[in-house]
A and B are shown apart, each in its own frame.
Chain A
Amino acid sequence: MSHPSHPSAAPIGPDSPWRSLEEIEARASGGEASDTPLAVEANPVISSVELARRDFLRAVGASLAVAGAAACTRQPDEKIHAWGASPEALIPGKPLYFATAMPWASGALGLLVESHMGRPTKVEGNPEHPASRGATDAFAQAAVLELYDPTRAQLMRRNGAISTWSGFLDEFRPAVEAQRARAGAGMRILTPTVVSPTLHAQLTGVLKEFPRAAWVQWSPHNRDAARAGALSAFGADVVAHAAFERTKVVLSLDDDFLAGPSGVRATREFAAARRARRATTSMLRLYAVESSISITGAAADDRLPVRPSVLAAVAARVAAKLGVATSASSGALPLAPEHERWADAVAADLAANRGQSVVLVGAEQPAEIHALAHAMNHALGAVGKTVRYTEPTECASSDQSEALRALAGELQAGRVELLIVLEGNPVYDAPAELAFRDAFAKAGLRVTLSLFDNETTELSHWHVPATHFLESWSDARAFDGTVSIVQPLIAPLYDGRSAHELLAVVAGKAGAKAYDLVRAHWQAQHEDDDFETYWKRSLHDGVLAGRGFSNRSVALSNAAPDLARLAATAEGLEYVLRTDPATFDGRFAANAWLQECPRPLTKLTWDNALLIGVATAKRLALSSGDRVEFSIEGASVEAPVWVAPGHAEECVTLPLGYGRKSAGPIGTGVGFDAYPFVRRAARWSGSGATLRKLGRRHTFAVTQEHHDMERRDLVRTLRLGALDAAPLHPALAHGETSMYPPVKYDGVAFGMVIDLNTCVGCNACVIACQSENSIPVVGKEEVAAGREMHWLRIDRYYEGEPSNPRVLLQPVPCMHCENAPCEVVCPVGATTHSPEGLNEMTYNRCVGTRYCSNNCPYKVRRFNFFAYADLETESLKLQRNPDVSVRTRGVMEKCSYCVQRIQEKRIGARREGRDVGGDEIVTACQQVCPAQAITFGDINNASSAVAKLRAEPHHYGLLEELNTKPRTTYLAKVSAPRSELSPPPGDAR
């Protein structure tokens, strides 16, 4: 289905980027890919309503009559409620911003949250916070939906029956008092990794009062291996932080350092070191060796996909080449010659950039590899230059797996009389062999604090609804020790309690408020008299001054790590377990925004899949969508297969966080549960797995074939140092002639430039756009039918061999074409052009012909086939941006360049009698981007950032040859100059 009348500037050749394995197969056989894409096969849904022709006509007639009658009514009266006394600083209609922080085990992410008349609507990063620097990840963006989720736990429950807080105290306090008499011998407190200094102090206080009680921390994605590695290398638990701005060469040993909350800061620094402009002569070079597929691997210049056992051997080889000694027994790790060559070349490059290179290790890697990396960094002279060490973020670092095992043993033995679970979901995510479900049920009185009903609350006597972090006081440490106060944006929506308040009951201080506890904790540590000023400034800035960690100097106590344990031969199929980019460890399984957000590389939605390499799938005669039985040592699960280009062979990936049995209407039963394969001995990877094909098929809702731009030359790549080499502006198919009347833009003209080189595909922009513009979710069936509503999508292309292709990512919002093809086909003038060049969409004029969408070459228009926006649920109404219209059924919508933000700034500027500044307006996607890959502004203002980028040699527009004159344009992906390693892929087209 290509357009013969529009020869594209660079026609598709055998080496051109491809989007799916089906496409590249079809290309090899000379066929058309779009004839057999998986998406079509998987999309039987055209309409979820079966309708005969006559019924349809009847419905049309009736709706016309009803519409006619409805048009005769006048606007209903509205009430306007005056304040009793106007609050200070609040002007109705103008949002306020408050600093707070999102707590994570790996360190808090500082946030600024937009509040409209007292309701938080949009999360932004806090520019003052070291982990955020003004950006966030996708999880933080989705936090507002979590806050307003109507399925949140709203009432105190005892064994599922509604109860009250006083009813709870009546049972809980005597149980605590009984423990006090026994010094807490039967009391256990289970929490996720604690990064709140106040909560830590409270726990310490409780343990002092109850000396025989115990506090256990358990987060499934914990630092156990990294901690053991640091202890073995230095004899001290420290965390390594890379300084990308001073780094030329990075080797990532399965470290997905660009993903998740801790990836925000890393992406900012990484992108800065990768930014290619006209004058740039050097770029950070990233080598990645990994088993699964990750966005960090996708961003690498050289990526080596190998299964876990080989990965250890590659690491050992690099270490050996760098002169790191390993103990005698380690020499046995076998390595194929091509992997040896790869390791040698990487080691040479690392060594050649001594003092400017760094080795990073993923938290999932075994302790030995962590120790090895510490030794390598010492050998590379990286310490103090490209890597620094600090205390760990968690308040009390411990071996969590061991502590949980001990707790499970005590539970099994019936020695626990009172178990208090302060958030987390251990029944779901504890290692399988602990049989934690059974053990948990043996505790005498089980009290669980939780935001949602989940597997753990189901088995608890008491479920105390928790407060969301946006509605309660707390504090949290960032990766570098910086402390932020978690400040509520709204009073608790339901009868929730925070961990601080529940723990205060244990300490005999029932009724203590979290605010007083947090404030008192910091007041006690404040030396100077004027605490009030310090407190207020800390709340305002979002960080407590002078609380960060200082660097720790460490000495390598064990320069020769013992790799003997890794040398044990891996037999059979290997597997890796990974947290998921959408559900993380399962905690976000009920978050519809995240579930519907296409996973960065697979583009799957509403599902997880067993990821498998291309050749392994071929050997096992598996294709995407086949259901298989995956089993190891007696445990087995039925899972659908997804063939992932670039995945290591003879190895599969099982994403965690799915298959929840109790996660509300959104998350329950989505995907398969991989936690039964988490073993203490094989936390994140193992071997000896078997796959059995079941002959059943699975329907995925995958967006990678949606919104096809007909495989024209869309994503361009260039080599650093040769940005001028290939002209990126093709000749126009019909010259400059146009049937459109010429329009001159001599005032402010808005445009956007997206840097493909720094975009890492983290999806933060997709969710930010959803949050800012009140974009509805549509559900799995509708996504499968190609009806997802995201205004901004990230296209993912592969280039080169399917076994290890180069990944090219391209965010695609509306292009706001100056010669917009959508506008001329609209019969009702619902899409028009503004004097600044915005392609506007006027919902109230739209009658839903969808001509505009059909005529859009970029496929960026989204149609409300049904009433997707939930107009009924009260709590969801609070989330919506009041500055954006909510769209109803039958209406087209699309990226507006955040017209509400444009108008706010434009009106402000015009009020002052000036034009809006070149860089004054910030769109939601631009603001959230950790890589700062998106720039927006006035292209007619020569001093604006966007105008400067448009003058770069590698600047180009998508499908420019159609003479659409897009306002959204791109900077080509630029590859770093090569080392002598591996022949360069054909990228200098």
Chain B
Amino acid sequence: MGAAAREALISGLNTMSAAVRPTLGPAGRTVAIAPISGQGPPEVLDRAATIARRTIAIEDPFQNMGAMLLRHLIWRVHEEVGDGGATAAVIAARLTESTVNYAGLGGDTLAVRRGIQLAANAANDRLRSLSRPIEMPRDIATVVSGSLRNEQIALMIGEVLDAVGPDGVITVRKSPGVSTDCEFVEGVRWDGGSVSLYLLDDTVQTTTLDEPLILVTDFPLKDAEDVLPILELASSAGRSLVLIAPEVRDAALAILIANRERGILAVKPPEPGGQKERAIEEIALISGARLQRRARNDRLRDVKLADLGSTRQAWATRGLAGLLGARGDREAIRVRLGDVRSELERASDDDARDKLRARIGRLAGIAAIVRVGGQTESEQKELEQRVESAVAAGRAALREGVVPGGGCALIAAAKAVSALDLTGDERVGAQLLARSLEEPLRVIAINAGIDDSPLVHNAYERGPDAVFDVLHRTWVDPWQSGILDATSILRQVIELSVSSAVTTLFTDTLVRSPTPANAFTP
């Protein structure tokens, strides 16, 4: 309790921080971690999130609490913004240590907390004022190249993000080969596939229909009278037919199979859970069909030709279905796209964001697949995670812009914090955050074998129009050199670090279980 608790917490925080500090900056180094079990070789890692995830415990149980707090912060930063874990770790560790020590000396913790929060707002405001939008694929590549450490893949990520947009669908998968490449998916595609193998071409297990009519319904088709009127409608129009329904079975399915030579596909709609209703509405919108709704008591025998959608081509396999050149109302699709993008901005978890992006991909008619290769499985896995982080960082950069990188934007933010007109312990809190915001530049310098104090002093003097190119040991223009950071990542890093530090500020007692489990999940 008391001072002992605070000391243990800080020690644990610093231990975890020390594990990830070496990776920060372009001259960052690697960390070797022994496998949790077995006799395999150590993993050599250079990403803070992965290092944190592998560090499941330190020996002292109370220090371990501090370590796990920081581990949780690093992972949270990774999940929310994809990058910036090491930056968050060094800021949070420094801020926590300095504020907890000050509290231990009798400081007014409430006032200190107020000061920190006011300072965090000022820092974020300064970052926003420095932020510039980016648009070109090469600019995106520049932002993500630092974390990717592979220029070719960085250019690929820039190309992909430019093509699908910051909210588009990008699926990162393992490649069977050693090289990394990307593919753009044409039209609308979704997991679902044909409701029956008997509706697919026997030899290739795929069916493609040209210029089909499309029926979209949200109720199951099971009786003959559910499908016969639609079949007759399509037949009299001389067109093939696609039925998109949650379920097709019994007599309805039998009739479709019997008539498959006419050109018939029956496929499941996208999204088996969660946003299923919205997704099926959107398929109807995309194809120009009037959705047949159970809630409206729509009857399929009343369906007219104008209620059916159309597309240049429809296809299905066992597990996938797609439309190419669907003929929905473009303006209505554009409006819906805007609505879904707004929903994405408000989404609070990864699962919801993934589902919303899938909907955006269908509405926009484009998606990208990045297939990651590697010489070994572990190399591939590490690169896959790095690519995912780069995609997240690229999205962040496109959404909110970029600021001078290399820790220099944070120095500008620290300067703005120091200029705040505060007094007493509020001022102390603000100053503690300002000093913590210098920490990333200090660590970057130390990792490169450069004296950190003169560098920080220089950064204050020069302002945000110059950043230090650690590799070439010279000050450069950030906008010319491309040494940039995504604004939203730095803002989130500040917010989460402050949140973590402030939580710890009021911790006075540590309680542990006798045999704590190893924290496999951060």
Q: Are A and B bound to each other? A: no
